Amino acid sequence: MAKAMAKRFYDEVTVEEIEGSWAVLLDGKQLRTPGKLKLSLPSKALAKRISAEWEAQVDRINPSVMPVTRLANVAIEQTPENRPLLVAEARRYAETDLLCFRAPQPRILKDRQSAAWDSWLEWATDKGIVLETTETLQAVTHPVKSLDKVERFAASLDDLRLTLFVHLIAVYGSVILAKAVMLGALVPEEAFDLSRLDNDYQIELWGEDEEQAEITSALRKETIALGEILECL
């Protein structure tokens, strides 16, 4: 049974600088994570972005439509002690990056993949990440130096950015697309659409049920919202 949503218990949402960080206040009380840690944020812009999510709640507080709040909670509560695991996860994803797996047929899909993805593999190569492609479902052996490069990039990120990076990797199925977003070479919605290329082709052939379309639309919207975090830092 789904957990009941809590009633909105506050009237005013404000932001304030406290001890060198920015905080969201609900009726004057600093917002905390589910684990009761203070939600201390690195910029006023990010605090205002989160405050907007809380202000948008009406009768009930619906966490599913508060992606920036949720990600900030994870970054504060879980990421500090799990950084090695997240960095390792980014490296593992690079071993099976979506852009590396190409369809042997039909030709139209092969051409679409090449047109959409080849330039981003080239972009990654320029960044020192050389990944091989395959037309099979078998694992691809990539240069160790490339995987090391992904690992170092992930390790260089602060807790908030690392949390976002790994989340985007999971959504896109691609370290390359996620890194392009993190570096501002791609906007989140473009990366999302690139990651959906194979799915979109299947939809052209067989159609898409209404429920799945709603799920995809919600995920795309959430990804765009999370990408706005980078503009706030």
Q: What is the pLDDT of residues 55-77, one digit of tens each?
A: 999 999 999 999 999 999 999 99
Q: CATH 1.10.3580.10 occupies which residues in the chain?
A: 79-232
Q: Nearest CA to 93 among 53, 45, 142?
A: 142
Q: What is the pLDDT of residues 9-33, one digit of tens each?
A: 999 999 999 999 999 999 999 999 9
Note the CATH number of domain 13-64. Answer: 3.30.2180.10
Task: Give the pLDDT band (50/70/90) at residue 1.
Answer: very low
pLDDT (mean) for 158-179: 98
Q: What is the pLDDT of residues 93-128, one digit of tens each?
A: 999 999 999 999 999 999 999 999 999 999 999 999
Considering the entire predicted model, what is its pTM?
A: 0.95
pLDDT (mean) for 74-101: 97
Q: CATH 3.30.2180.10 occupies which residues in the chain?
A: 13-64
Query: So what's the pLDDT on residue 43?
Result: 98
Of all residues in the chain, the percent with pLDDT exceeding 90 is 94
Instruction: Tell me which of 132-141, 149-158, 163-172, 190-199 is least confident.
Output: 132-141
Q: So what CATH class is 79-232?
A: mainly alpha
Task: Give the pLDDT band (50/70/90) at residue 137.
Answer: confident
